[in-house]
Each structure stands twice: as C-alpha cells, then as structure tokens.
C-alpha cells in the first residue's frame, strides 16, 4: 500500500466519523518556544489549553513534523528520521478514551477492502500509563485484548508532552509484532524493534510546567476540558504495509536512496556503513526539501542552522561514499518527485527551493577546501610535536568556524593516524549549547511561564482599534512586573500594561510596534514596546513618567501620529518593494522576512545572486512608479482558502487563522496576507530610496531602503557629498565620474612605478644578501631584518629571490623578517631542495621563529610564513632559526 493511500485512508476514516479535515500547518512552529512543529498536536495547542475556542469539536490532519534531537541516530535504526508525517485525530471536549480507542482499533484491523489497514488482531499489543486502569479495561472491552498484551509503563514511556510548558497527559501506545526474526518475544517492554509502535493515543487532560525532562515536570492543574490528541507515524505504518525493513525503503524515500547508490557506484545492502550513509542522504535531502519549501533558509542560528546541518551532512555522506562532485542537483529532484503528490506546492516552487539548496552545497564545498587547509596545518603541528591526538579546541574551531562536522574531522584525523580529543570538543560544544539556550531563553516571549498572561487572556482578547483610530478610551485590565501581577506602579518604574482595548499596534508581520502615551487621572505612561506574548492579548511595555497607575483605572490611549504615519509609509513601502522585485526578477523572488519602522524598511527575499547596479535601479524605479500611480490600498477579510484562490501571497512560516486580512495595492499588482497598518493610497508612501543589497544566507538576499522624508534626507546627504567633491576637484557634478576615474588611473600608475622601483631595490638587495651567505653546519644561510613597513609579500619575494640566486648545488636556507605598516612582525623562510634532503624544513623553522615573536605560522617544506606580536624579538627569532638548522642537520 503506497504512502499516499495510507494517508488517504486515515483522513477518510475520521472524516467519515465526523471529523473536520485540517490541512498541515507549516514546519515552522507557531509556538515560539519550539523551532519546529515536532508533533501533530502543536498547531492545536491553543485549543487544547483553552486559550482559543476550536472551530470544530473533532478534527483530523496529516501534519508535517521535524525532530532533530536524534539526528545522530538517523540511518542507524529502522525508525529515526528528521522529517516525518504524523496522522492525527483530535477531540476538544467531545469524545475521550473510549472513542479514541474504538476509532483506532477499527481503522487498523479493518480489511483493505473495507478501507482499513488490515493488521492482524493477534499481532497487536498496547501499553498504558501504569495507573490508568480505565484505559486497560477499555482495551479489553473494545478490542478484546488479553491482559498479557496490555502492558503498563511509567512517565518516561506513557506520558506525553512537547518538552515545554503546556498541555500533557497519559497515553496509550499501539504496537505491531513484526515477528520472531526481528527480536525476542515479550512485548514492547522487552524489544521495541520487534514490537514497533505505530500509534500513540494521548489523553490530554493536564497543564504542566517546570519541564526539566520527559519524566520530570510539574502538573499545575487540569485543562479546561478533557481532549484527545493522537499521533500515528505515517512512515512507520508505510514500511510495515509495504513489507520493507525500515522507513528509508518506503516509496517516498527509497528512490532518493537509490539515486545516492547509483551516483556512488555502490550497492545498497552490501555494506552496513555505506547503507547508513545512503539512509542519511535520503532522509536529510527529503527533510531539507520540506524545510526550504516552508521558507527556512540556511544560516548559523536557529532553524537555518538545522537546515544547514542537514544539507552539509548530506554532502559529507556522499563524500564518504566516494562522490566528490556536486550531488544535491541530482538528489533533490528525486525527493521532490516522491513528495509532490502529497505536497503539490513543492513542484510549483521548486525553482526557489532548488536554488537555495544548490547554493548551500556550493558554499559548503568551498568551506571544505578552507577547512581542510586548517586541518592539515593542525595535523602537521600535532605530529611534529609528537602528539597522537588533535586538540579538542581545534576540532571545535573546525566545527564552529568552518562548518566541519565532527565525524568528518574524526575521519580525516584517522587517515593521518591521529585521534581527536573528543572529550574537550564535547565540553566546548556543551558550553556553546548552554550559552545558546540562555540566549534563547532571554529572547523568546512564549517559552517562559505565561500563566499571568493567560489569566488576563481568559477575560477575553484585546480588541485592536488602531485600524480606525489613533486614540481611544480604555481601562487598565492588568499590570505586570517581571511576569507577576501587581496592583500599581509609581513614577520611574517600567512595567507591562494590559488594556481593555487599544489603538497601539503590537510588533508583528515585520512592522515595529507603535509609540505614544497612555494617560489617566494624575499619571502619564510612555509606551516603549507593544507585544502579543499569547495569541489575542496585547501587552504594552511602559515607563511611568509621572504619578501612579493602578489596575482598574480609566485611561486615554494615544498613538504618536507622526510615528504611525511613518510606520504606515514603511509597511506599505515594503509591499511595494516586494511587488517590484517580483516584477523585475520574476515570481520566485518571494519575501522570506521583513522589518519596517518609520522611515526605514528591509526585506529578505529568495534569490541566489547579488543584484547588479542596473537591476537595483530598475527595482527602485518600478517601486517609485507605483508610488506615483497612486494605487488605492485596501484591506479585506476573507477565508484563508479564498485568499489563496485569488493569489494573495503569504509570508513563509507564518501561521494564519481561517479568516485572514488581505491587503491590495492596485488590485492584483500587490496582494498579500497582512495584519499591519497601511497608507490609503500608494502616493502617501513618498520617496523610496534603496540604500543597500546584501546576502543573508545561501539563496537569500536582503534589500534596505529609506522611505518618505528619510528617503529625501538620504538623497540630500548624497547631493551635499557630490557638491563637496565637485568643489574639491573643481569640476561640474556631472564631470565627477570622469575626473575620479582619471585620478584613480593616475594613482594606479604611480603605484606601478613605485612597485617597479621597489622591485629593483629588492633585486639589488637580494644580490647583496646572497653574497653575504654564511656557512651553518654545511648550509648556506642568509638572515635579514627588513626595514619597518616592509609587507609580508615583499618579504616572501625577497626570500625566494635570494634562494634562487644561491643555486641548488648545496643546501640553502634564507630567513627574512620585518615589521609591516601595522607594526606586527612577519617572518618568511625558504629552503632549496638539497636543504630539504638534509632534513631542513621551512615550515618547522617558521614555527620556531613565530613562537619567538609571540605568534604562529606554517606552510610547506620549501617555503613557509608566520607572524607574531612582538617586533622587538625579530633578531632573536632569526637566531632561533639558525640554531634550529644545526639541530636539523646534526640530528
């Protein structure tokens, strides 16, 4: 049974039992405490916790998920994958344990002809939470399961939560006995390879917090209603019903694995190590495809780092399989063809997806070259020092700075006969993770304890009136200080205020929050920031300028009018620039992120190369023509599906309600889902001046612009600068390019003449130095301290010239050193072939000299270069080189 058919049967089964079919949410989690959607229930968390009223009592979905906690296990086991699909059915205060068990049993045991999966009843085992007698009795009642096939387990196995504060509950898991050839008998408590879990029925009924581990948390109370949340692993069911050994061999994955095998010329199934690498490739390429499809781009933090790691692990695995050429262009289209039946958007968006993935592979290939050079130097140094292991900090630097996976470093070290100090490396990695966790905890708004916000939200959402007005009468619903409710606050204090209604826009959709004041009887509050820590609740961070504010007081909330005008100009300008980019570059130039505030905007978009000056000028012209045409700007609410039908663009990774706001400029010219504030006509945006364009990761670019009066001020500054230069050079402004070009040419000619003179001077100096060579243990040795300001490349040229003049009849060593313009010393050593045959190596001599200078260096045996920090030690460094020649020659 194909995976797509398993998926269809699941949805049909539950739709036929009164469940609404809900499309998969994005892989980018709507929960700010989670990087990714890690389970089918994540999009439903607001309904499970009672924050929002669900639009249905029963729902079913097939949710895209990403989990990376077990990434090192991918390919080694039958069931670990980074991307997977979770079939789920949900009840929000409707049916509970008996309903969940009945629906599950019916689907898995029903024959193929009747629309089920046809698993034999005698092959089915279940587990329940250790004290859940009710679930155990229901399995007997509904399914007739004997006691021996109902096993009880503790928190670690049979209690489910996301790993963050939120909903949780005991669960009952369904297992299929794969047969004696897969392991010992005795049920899942004995062997979870033979007894494979396919479905987890979670009885979601508790609110938890203080989560330290899967089995270490605090239950703070019951949820508002008893809910059902189930998760069936689509890939696991697929490999059972398709008669294959693991998830990498199902119809949605195996073709990519086979393509990796074909490219490598190796046969899948012939060697366990190769098999693991092919599975890694198949899994990671598919996962990368799905992540990029949902708007993630490679970067060095957060979701982007996970994607980068997956792509680079894929490239590395292919390299270990013997493939040195680019491979993602061969593998990604195969993965797309496997997945497009379930996710047709992958086909239509493949140009963008592939450009991001291909660019990342090219970047990593360049990284491999640089990192390999660093590794080679470190390995040579370790062996010369008599060490048998590469230092852990070197391995960490390769990983952190150059993107080298640790197992690639281990492999290369083994080839050199070295180990790696993995203990030190792991400690450094742990320290980095702890710093990252602390940083993330400091930044995130949703992962901390939000109970105080939720209590305020329980009283109802905060109506936003700012689309229609900039001032409103309201009342203080609550005051919070450091996340705790307080009765009041006095002058000088900074705290958070929740109002009954507000005209202040909360930061979202790339638009910065409003500024303004909140006033009341005897007090004034300056609004510093506005956020939505939980959905539906608007929270104002304020500073008490005077008086004392008390919860329950009536207030007047007033947005700074100039600030809002500037914000509207910038946000509408962002839409205009986005539309202009798509008009000039094509529809694949989709926005992937933005930020705007009064007078300024930046926009990230999918594009694989820098924009030339002419292209930037064209985008700017198209944007300002749209401003001049005075397009009407309108905002309309409509169902999400209707918005998609009319072509409204959605920002990747954003989560939208079933009812959405569509902002149009000039009709279809710009049509986007957006909750921000906007001008009424495009002419009100004013001037749009592009000021910069840069890369923000593989396959992603960023443009920046000033808007309105700030755009005018930027051009005014440039006009003043042009005027000053024209006066200085005594030409008309339109003659500046020609005059500057002529000056640059003159400077270059002068530099060439200076270089020639310098070369002649060095040549004469080289002849004198060659004549001054001294015999050191049979080696012709020249040492020289160059004048201050001599560049390192000049030192190198001089050393090579002197070496050449001394010929190849006897061993020659030339060592020259000097302090450059910065005052930092450099040293170059050159050794001819007879010298190398005598055991004298330039790299070893340079390291001795550089250490004396307080630095380091290295290179090849014939010529090497180093540097340091203490120029006063140059004479000592050259003396050390001479001593080392004697040690090398005499042994």
- The pLDDT of residue 451 is 74
CATH number for region 759-890: 3.10.310.40
Report whether 678 belongs to an annotated binding site: yes
Nearest to 167 by CA among 239, 111, 238, 217: 217
- Identify the segments of the chain with pLDDT beneath 70: 30-33, 70, 78-79, 300, 402-403, 405, 407, 433-450, 652-656, 697-698, 759, 891
Q: How far apart are alpha carbons 684 and 227 in whole angstroms?
A: 50
Q: Give the CA angle between residues 337, 258, 318 to the nearest 5°.
A: 105
Q: Angle, to 10 degrees, between the axis of helix 97-109 and the axis of helix 3-15?
A: 140
User: What CATH fold (topology level) applies to the domain 451-559?
Assistant: Elongation Factor Tu (Ef-tu); domain 3 (2.40.30)
CATH class, 564-717 region: alpha beta
Checking DSSP bridges between strand 58-66 and strand 20-21, what pairing results, if any?
parallel
CA distances from 555 to 228, 488, 518 (A): 43, 14, 6
DSSP state letters, 625-642: HHHHTT-BEEEEEEEHHH
Specify whether the CB–CB gap between 95 and 104 falls below 8 A. no
Q: What are the backbone angles phi and psi of residue 602, rounded to the nearest 5°? A: -135, 150
Contact between 449 and 487 under an 8 Å Cβ cutoff? The reply is no
Q: What span, in angstroms and rounded, lies between the C-alpha atoms of 666 and 572?
A: 12
451-559 matches 759-890 in fold: no
Record the tokens describing residue 128, joined without a space.
């329940």
pLDDT number for residue 435: 63
Q: How many residues does the chain have?
A: 891
Compute how many other C-beta atoms are within 10 angstroms of the C-beta atom of residue 104: 24
| 634 close to 549: Cβ distance less than 8 angstroms | no
SS3 at position 549: strand
Q: Is 674 annotated as a binding residue?
A: yes
What are the CB-based long-range contacts (under 8 Å, 24+) for 709-713?
Answer: 709/599, 710/566, 710/598, 710/599, 710/600, 711/599, 711/686, 711/687, 712/686, 712/687
**pLDDT tens digits for 101-113?**
999 999 999 999 9
Q: Going by C-beta distance under 8 Å and a sequence separation of 6 or more, which residues neighbour residue 152?
A: 127, 128, 129, 130, 131, 132, 136, 158
To the question of whether residue 130 is assigned a binding role by annotation, the answer is no
**Secondary structure class of 75 (helix, strand, coil):** coil
Q: What is the pLDDT of residues 130-145, one digit of tens each?
A: 999 999 999 999 999 9
CB 832, CB 865: distance < 8 Å: no
Cα angle 649, 655, 660; round to 5: 60
Measured in Å, how far apart are the chain's first and last C-alpha atoms? 73
Distance CA 828, CA 849 (A): 9
- Structure confidence at residue 444 (pLDDT): 40
Which among 621, 619, 630, 654 has a CA at the least distance from the CA of 640?
Answer: 654
Pairing between β-strand 825-831 and β-strand 812-819 as defined by DSSP bridges = antiparallel
- pLDDT number for residue 816: 94
Instruction: Tell me what pLDDT residue 443 has.
Output: 42
Q: Where are the domains of the chain?
A: 3-251, 256-443, 451-559, 564-717, 759-890
**Taking the CB of residue 313, how many other CB atoms lie within 10 A of it?**
26
Q: What is the DSSP string of 90-130?
A: EEESS--HHHHHHHHHHHHHS-TTTTS----GGGEEEEEET
- The pair of structure tokens assigned to 456 is 């305020």
**Cα–Cα distance between 567 and 574 in angstroms, integer?**
11
The helix/strand count (H/E) of the chain reads as 25, 33
- Tell me which long-range contacts 421-426 makes (C-beta under 8 A, separation of at least 24): 421/389, 421/390, 421/391, 421/392, 421/395, 422/392, 422/395, 423/392, 424/391, 424/392, 424/393, 424/395, 424/396, 425/392, 425/393, 425/395, 425/396, 425/399, 426/392
Give whole-number Cα distances, 452 to 166, 449, 480, 498, 867, in Å: 14, 8, 8, 11, 58
Beta strands (DSSP E) in 54-194 are: 58-66, 83-92, 124-129, 150-153, 159-161, 166-177
Check: pTM over 0.85? Answer yes or no.
no
**Topology (CATH level 3) of domain 3-251:** BirA Bifunctional Protein; domain 2 (3.30.930)
Burial class from Cβ neighbours inside 10 Å (0-12, 13-18, 19+) for residue 20 reads: middle
Distance CA 69, CA 211 (A): 16
């Amino acid at each position: 049974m194909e995976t797509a058919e398993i998926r269809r049967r699941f949805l049909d089964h539950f739709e036929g039992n009164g469940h609404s079919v809900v499309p998969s949410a994005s892989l980018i989690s709507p929960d700010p405490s989670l990087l990714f959607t890690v389970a089918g229930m994540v999009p439903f968390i607001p309904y499970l916790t009672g924050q929002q009223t669900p639009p249905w009592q029963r729902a079913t979905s097939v949710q895209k998920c990403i989990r990376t906690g077990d990434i090192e296990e991918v390919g080694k086991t039958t069931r670990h994958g980074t991307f997977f699909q979770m079939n789920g059915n949900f009840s929000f205060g409707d049916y509970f344990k008996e309903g969940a068990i009945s629906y599950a049993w019916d689907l898995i045991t029903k024959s193929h002809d009747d629309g089920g999966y046809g698993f034999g009843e005698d092959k089915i085992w279940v587990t329940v939470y250790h004290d859940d007698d009710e679930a155990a009795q229901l399995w007997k009642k509904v399914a007739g399961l004997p006691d021996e096939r109902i096993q009880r387990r503790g928190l670690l196995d049979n209690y489910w939560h996301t790993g963050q504060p939120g909903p949780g509950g005991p669960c009952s898991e369904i297992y299929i006995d794969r047969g004696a050839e897969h392991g010992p008998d005795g049920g899942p408590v004995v062997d979870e390879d033979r007894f494979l879990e396919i479905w987890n029925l979670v009885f979601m009924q508790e609110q938890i917090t203080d989560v330290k581990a899967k089995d270490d948390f605090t239950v703070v109370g019951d949820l508002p209603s008893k809910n059902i949340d189930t998760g069936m692993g689509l890939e696991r069911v697929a490999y059972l019903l398709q008669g294959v050994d693991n998830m990498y061999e199902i119809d949605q994955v195996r073709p990519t694995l086979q393509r990796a095998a074909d490219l490598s010329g190796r046969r899948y199934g012939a060697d366990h190590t190769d098999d693991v690498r092919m599975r890694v490739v198949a899994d990671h390429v598919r996962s990368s495809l799905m992540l990029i499809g949902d708007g993630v781009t490679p970067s060095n933090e957060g979701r982007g780092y996970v994607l980068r790691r997956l792509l680079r692990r894929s490239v590395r695995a292919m390299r270990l399989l013997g493939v040195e050429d680019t491979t993602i262009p061969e593998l990604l289209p195969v993965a797309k063809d496997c997945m497009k039946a379930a996710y047709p958007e992958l086909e239509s968006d493949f140009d963008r997806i592939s450009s991001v993935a291909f660019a990342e592979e090219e970047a990593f290939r360049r990284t491999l070259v640089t990192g390999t050079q660093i590794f080679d130097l470190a390995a040579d140094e370790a062996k010369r020092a008599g060490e048998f292991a590469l230092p852990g900090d070197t391995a960490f630097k390769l990983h952190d700075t150059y993107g080298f996976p640790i197992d690639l470093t281990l492999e290369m070290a083994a080839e050199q006969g070295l180990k790696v100090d993995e203990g030190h490396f792991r400690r450094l990695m742990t320290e980095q993770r702890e710093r990252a966790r602390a940083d993330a905890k400091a930044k995130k708004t949703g992962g901390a304890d939000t109970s105080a916000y939720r209590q305020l939200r329980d009283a109802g959402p905060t109506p936003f009136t700012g689309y229609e007005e900039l001032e409103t009468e309201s009342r203080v619903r609550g005051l919070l200080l450091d996340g705790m409710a307080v009765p009041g606050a006095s002058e000088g204090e900074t705290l958070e205020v929740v109002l009954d209604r507000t005209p202040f826009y909360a930061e979202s959709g790339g638009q910065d929050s409003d500024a303004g004041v909140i006033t009341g009887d005897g007090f004034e509050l300056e609004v510093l920031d506005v956020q939505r820590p939980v959905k539906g609740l608007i929270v104002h961070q304020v500073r008490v300028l005077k008086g004392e504010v008390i919860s329950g007081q009536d207030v007047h909330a007033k947005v700074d009018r100039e600030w809002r005008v500037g914000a509207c100009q910038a946000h509408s300008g962002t839409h205009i620039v986005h539309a202009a980019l798509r008009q000039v570059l094509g529809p694949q130039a989709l926005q992937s992120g933005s930020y705007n505030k009064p007078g300024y905007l930046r926009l990230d978009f999918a594009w694989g190369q820098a924009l030339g000056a002419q292209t930037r000028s064209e985008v700017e012209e198209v944007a300002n023509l749209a401003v001049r045409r005075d397009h009407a700007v309108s905002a309309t609410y409509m169902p999400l599906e209707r918005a998609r039908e009319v072509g409204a663009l959605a920002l990747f990774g954003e989560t939208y309600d079933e009812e959405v706001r569509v902002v149009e400029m000039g009709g279809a010219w710009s049509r986007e889902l957006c909750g921000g504030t906007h001008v009424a006509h495009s002419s009100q945006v004013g001037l749009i001046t592009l000021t910069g364009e840069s890369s923000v990761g593989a396959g992603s670019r960023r443009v920046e612009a000033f808007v309105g009066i700030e755009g005018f001020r930027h051009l005014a500054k440039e006009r003043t600068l042009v005027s000053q230069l024209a006066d200085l050079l005594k030409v008309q402004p339109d003659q500046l390019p020609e005059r500057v070009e002529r000056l640059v040419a003159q400077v270059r000619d002068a530099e060439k003449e200076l270089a020639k003179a310098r070369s002649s001077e060095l040549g004469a100096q080289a002849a004198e130095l060659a004549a001054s060579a001294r015999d050191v243990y049979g080696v012709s040795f020249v040492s020289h301290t160059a004048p201050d300001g001599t560049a390192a490349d000049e030192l190198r040229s001089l050393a090579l010239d002197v070496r050449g003049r001394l010929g190849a009849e006897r061993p020659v060593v030339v060592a020259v050193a000097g302090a450059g313009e910065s005052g930092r010393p450099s040293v170059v050593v050159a050794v001819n072939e007879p010298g190398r045959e005598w055991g004298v190596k330039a790299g070893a001599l340079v390291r001795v000299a550089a250490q004396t200078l307080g630095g380091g260096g290295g290179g090849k045996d014939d010529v090497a270069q180093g540097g340091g920090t203490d120029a006063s030690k140059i004479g000592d460094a050259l003396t050390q080189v001479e001593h080392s020649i004697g040690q090398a020659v005499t042994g």
